[in-house]
Structure 1
């Protein structure tokens, strides 16, 4: 076989294999779509089966829910958005895993890996969107609204508008103010299950359509599949706490009634039949009791009577009902739902002993997962098109590590770094984010308590023989 025939056969064979593989992939994809979306008709609306409006039933009705969401939202807003170029995706995964370690040495090592994995860059169009998403929403309002809707409803929509729709490089982005009770999804059929998102304000005749290609749907995972496709919507974190929401509202109403009635009430009457009060005596006794209750003089609450009386209590006081204890437990359930430490829910003095630990736990467990979810969604929505045109991979990160609650971690890290004599000062500076120094002395490792350079230790020199800074610079 000649060289030309061999090349032709190889190239043709490669083309056939590629074509077959592509057809197999499309066939499998078609099977998935056909099985998952086989009952979703073209241009049919997909509705969520969850009819609870968690914004109204949770955030606007239950104080504990509002407190938790407000705490998380303010911290997410405080995280500065940073654009990075990915230099090594494998090391980026290592960095993401190690930075959450409980071991301070691992967290210090993750900082050095970060320098090899990603590099902070300035991409004018991306950075411009993060500083000014649109002419009506600031960045704080933009990311704050996304966070609120995600935490209350499990769904948040971001709309992108571009001058050049083919490139999908957005010139402005909007956080849409709709929860899953206000927006709907229209299906395009089996092979286009999400064709568009639509909103019908107040159930009127006006229908607002948003093409799916211009929407980033940030949602929680819905594990419940049904043939109508409602699993395309996210699930509210409050879905498992519907009973708690109802109990919280009923408990607050009951507590208010208790306060208005001042606890239990009852009937006061003479024991003997012959001593029964007439209308005038009942009125006089009632007025006397009312005056005694209003009086600030404690002796006014004591007055004599010439006949024996008996008291018939109706209902139980709040202490006997343990209503306040029930409300406290119910309140703590919402803090657990949002992974907010219970130290934030209690005013007990003993909780303040561990407030530093609670602050860090709150950031790592309550705030960080939300920032990561939003960061990944914005990276996909905003940075995706730049990979095709610039041939570079950009990511957006909401930097929760800059929050003051984690400043204690930096202090521990610096103390740990000071003991690491096997790395240079420049390496230590990179770990804490202060950047390298150009002075060559910062690239020297120092050992032992005298911090002598390795070369001098090898030569047997003492600390007195160590050159001064001037000698280093001149020599």
Structure 2
């Protein structure tokens, strides 16, 4: 017979047996880790993704740079949330890929959020996170690490017994290793930062912000707690791209003679003698080679033929593999390959840009923004007792803007101020008329509409 406590737990939705069952996986995965205090486990070398991928492969560099440069268009602003609970609507519109819904984001953001004064300590931190970098410089490096290594880290300097950031710094994933020893549900107690001078600095877990790509490799060493680099899945295509470029370069540097001139005679008696070959070579150098012989017509006293010397079929196949590896490398990050096409059609480029923003840029900015609001904003909210919100302004992207017909349709159902916000202008203050919705004059209900015309059916009645 069930006890009174079991009935209460069931009524409240608590199920201790289920909770214990659900934690068994964590117990298996992390049980051995939390028993090793301050033990660091080293995984494969993430530094290779930077040195052999981003720094040594032009294709990887171009793809990551394309993403990071596009992300930099959206500025980061600090707002204070108003108390009328309109922020939920603003957040849902921002995440939508529909142009009209995303356009509403500007309107609802204006209604839900207020700009924070620039003299605020939080605002100053966002403008200058540390003495060596601006926010744009810091976040650019952070994003390079994220897209190349699959994860990126920020850490904050704080006062004693405080989690309010005094400065923020970025570090690559290959210099960060987790320290295990917490609980089964939260096994990481800190991170060890390699200072590259023989010293290791230990950071509390709460002072470290980790943004990572999902890693499905679950094991007892905690691999799932680290991000998975796209290059880990695309190593073979990276190698193919490197091999093809190397073959192409070798063929250019070491190609030697471009062709061979020989008599066009089957009879060996009519072939050139060694002295005649030397004489012909001198004539070629004098009358064919060089810029001074450009567009000249050269005469020959005997039938000769020219045989081009090119790459072997195997070498040509490797070079031809460049275009396939380029496409696959783009697919690793979800970047449309059309963006790197030197001769795309207008429609293809337009669609590729929209896909790029909707499928790569917006999802990442939402992910980064949510993480920063949890890690960086919360301590300031508690200290100042204000509902701070960090927000990336995604309305700057042309790919998300409405066309003329869509704006014209919205102008009939929105107020003047709402349309001004939609177009990126400031609201007209102290004007009630600017906040009213206007309709075209002369409109009447259809059942009251009469043009004074008589139809044939009416005449027959």
TM-score normalised to structure 2 length = 0.77
Which residue number corresponds to residue 39 of structure 1?
32
CA–CA separation in structure 2 for the residues paired with 1:355 and 1:314: 35
> Is the 8 Å Cα contact of residues 245 and 319 (structure 2) preserved in structure 1?
no
- Structure 1 segments unaligned to the other structure (5+ residues): 1-11, 455-475
CA–CA separation in structure 1 for the residues paired with 2:173 and 2:288: 50
Pick aligned residue for 1:127 from 123, 127, 132: 123
> Is the 8 Å Cα contact of residues 159 and 216 (structure 1) preserved in structure 2?
yes
Alignment of 1:134-153 (within 5 A): 134-153=130-149
Quick one: structure 1 residues 169 and 293, their matched pair in 2 at CA, closer, same or farther if it must change by over 3 Å?
farther
Alignment of 1:220-231 (within 5 A): 220-231=213-224
| Structure 2 residue 338 is the aligned partner of structure 1 residue 343 | yes
Quick one: structure 1 residues 86 and 451, their matched pair in 2 at CA, closer, same or farther if it must change by over 3 Å?
farther
Quick one: structure 1 residues 427 and 415, their matched pair in 2 at CA, closer, same or farther if it must change by over 3 Å?
same
CA–CA separation in structure 2 for the residues paired with 1:219 and 1:234: 5
Deviations for 1:169-216, whole angstroms, at most 9, x for unmatched residues? Answer: 11111112x232x332222255562233224455x6322332322111
Which residue number corresponds to residue 6 of structure 1?
none
Pick aligned residue for 1:209 from 198, 202, 205: 202
Higher helix share: 1
Shift of 1:286: 5.4
Quick one: structure 1 residues 331 and 449, their matched pair in 2 at CA, closer, same or farther if it must change by over 3 Å?
farther
**Higher mean C-alpha deviation, range 74-83 or range 245-254:** 74-83
Quick one: structure 1 residues 440 and 151, their matched pair in 2 at CA, closer, same or farther if it must change by over 3 Å?
same
> Is the 8 Å Cα contact of residues 248 and 327 (structure 1) preserved in structure 2?
yes
Deviations for 1:263-283, whole angstroms, at most 9, x for unmatched residues? Answer: 996777786677888876666
Which residue number corresponds to residue 454 of structure 2?
none
User: Alignment partner of 2:228: what SS?
Assistant: coil
CA–CA separation in structure 2 for the residues paired with 1:151 and 1:217: 13
TM-score normalised to structure 1 length = 0.75
Which residue number corresponds to residue 4 of structure 1?
none
Which residue number corresponds to residue 232 of structure 1?
225
Which residue number corresponds to residue 70 of structure 1?
65
Alignment of 1:386-405 (within 5 A): 386-403=380-397, 405=398
| Structure 2 residue 74 is the aligned partner of structure 1 residue 79 | yes
- Structure 2 segments unaligned to the other structure (5+ residues): 446-461
CA–CA separation in structure 2 for the residues paired with 1:277 and 1:201: 71
Which residue number corresponds to residue 333 of structure 1?
328
> Is the 8 Å Cα contact of residues 97 and 358 (structure 2) preserved in structure 1?
no
User: Alignment partner of 2:39: what SS?
Assistant: strand
Quick one: structure 1 residues 441 and 363, their matched pair in 2 at CA, closer, same or farther if it must change by over 3 Å?
same
> Is the 8 Å Cα contact of residues 265 and 315 (structure 1) preserved in structure 2?
no
CA–CA separation in structure 2 for the residues paired with 1:347 and 1:315: 25
> Is the 8 Å Cα contact of residues 265 and 314 (structure 1) preserved in structure 2?
yes
CA–CA separation in structure 1 for the residues paired with 2:15 and 2:335: 48
